[in-house]
């Protein structure tokens, strides 16, 4: 999704491009984009210049939606899921002494993910250029212990 965010506004990106950029197997990406397409997060275009693109701008794509599409309900434990179907898996939820803890953890994680969009993970072009053109920082040589006093001094 970050690659699609970087590519946003320039048309579809092929899975081959994304696979090369992210060093991921194409077969794995095919599974991911199928889930993302079903969730309405990406669209596909067929043909020689086809590929995948974001269905919405990166600023309008919450990370929580991306994770739910790829991983399912957000829950540190099955008893704390926000999905009613999965919540039925534990029959002790009403009497569990730590359920409140798991629910609060789930809510904190969900809140953090909901507060971020894909745009937060897509570095700006300026940041990419700065990283590409940055020069190495020359540091002072390490301090050496003074043999007579055992005190660190600069050489």
CB atoms within 10 A of CB 41: 23
| Predicted local confidence at residue 46, as pLDDT | 92
Beta strands in the chain (DSSP E): 42-45, 51-54, 144-145, 152-153
Question: Nearest 5°: phi and psi at 69?
Answer: -65, -35
Does some domain include residue 107? Answer: yes
- Map residue 113 onto helix, strand or coil: helix
Domain that residue 25 falls in: 1-55
CB atoms within 10 A of CB 140: 7
CB atoms within 10 A of CB 151: 8
- Map residue 92 onto helix, strand or coil: coil
In the predicted model, what is the mean pLDDT of the chain? Answer: 83
Q: Are residues 118 and 68 in the same domain?
A: yes
Note whether 13 and 4 are within 8 A (CB): yes
Does some domain include residue 108? Answer: yes
Model-wide pTM > 0.85: no
CA distance 45 to 23: 23
Q: Which residue has the tokens 């309405």?
A: 40
Identify the CATH number of the domain in which residue 11 sits.
Answer: 1.10.10.10
pLDDT digits (tens, 9 = 90+) for 109-128: 999 999 999 999 987 665 65
pLDDT, average across residues 55-71: 96
| Predicted local confidence at residue 124, as pLDDT | 66
Does some domain include residue 152? Answer: no
Q: Are residues 15 and 43 in the same domain?
A: yes
| Predicted local confidence at residue 108, as pLDDT | 95
Percent of the chain with pLDDT over 90: 55
Does some domain include residue 138? Answer: no
Under the banding of pLDDT at 50, 70 and 90, the label for residue 91 is confident
Q: Are residues 28 and 67 in the same domain?
A: no
Under the banding of pLDDT at 50, 70 and 90, the label for residue 150 is low
pLDDT over 80 (residue 79): no
pLDDT over 80 (residue 148): no
Q: Are residues 35 and 66 in the same domain?
A: no
CA angle centred on 110, ends 106 and 116, rounded to 5°: 155
| Predicted local confidence at residue 142, as pLDDT | 54
Which tokens go with 147?
A: 């043999």
Q: Are residues 51 and 66 in the same domain?
A: no
CA distance 33 to 124: 24
CA distance 65 to 67: 5
CB atoms within 10 A of CB 59: 13
Query: Is the pLDDT higher at 135 or at 1?
Result: 1
| Predicted local confidence at residue 144, as pLDDT | 53
The count of domains in the chain is 2
């Amino acid at each position: 999704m970050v690659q699609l965010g970087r590519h946003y506004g320039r048309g579809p990106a092929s899975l081959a491009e994304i696979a090369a950029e992210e060093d991921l197997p194409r077969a794995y990406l095919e599974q991911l984009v199928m889930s993302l397409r079903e969730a309405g997060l990406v669209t596909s275009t067929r043909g020689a210049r086809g590929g995948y693109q974001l269905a919405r701008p990166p600023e309008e794509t919450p990370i929580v939606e991306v994770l739910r599409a790829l991983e399912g309900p957000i829950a540190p434990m099955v008893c704390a899921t926000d999905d009613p179907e999965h919540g039925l898996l534990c029959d002790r939820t009403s009497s569990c002494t730590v359920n409140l803890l798991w629910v609060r953890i789930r809510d904190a994680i969900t809140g953090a993910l909901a507060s971020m969009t894909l745009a937060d993970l897509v570095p700006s072009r300026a940041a990419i250029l700065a990283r590409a053109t940055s020069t190495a920082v020359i540091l002072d040589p390490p301090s050496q212990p003074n043999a007579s006093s055992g005190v660190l001094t600069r050489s």
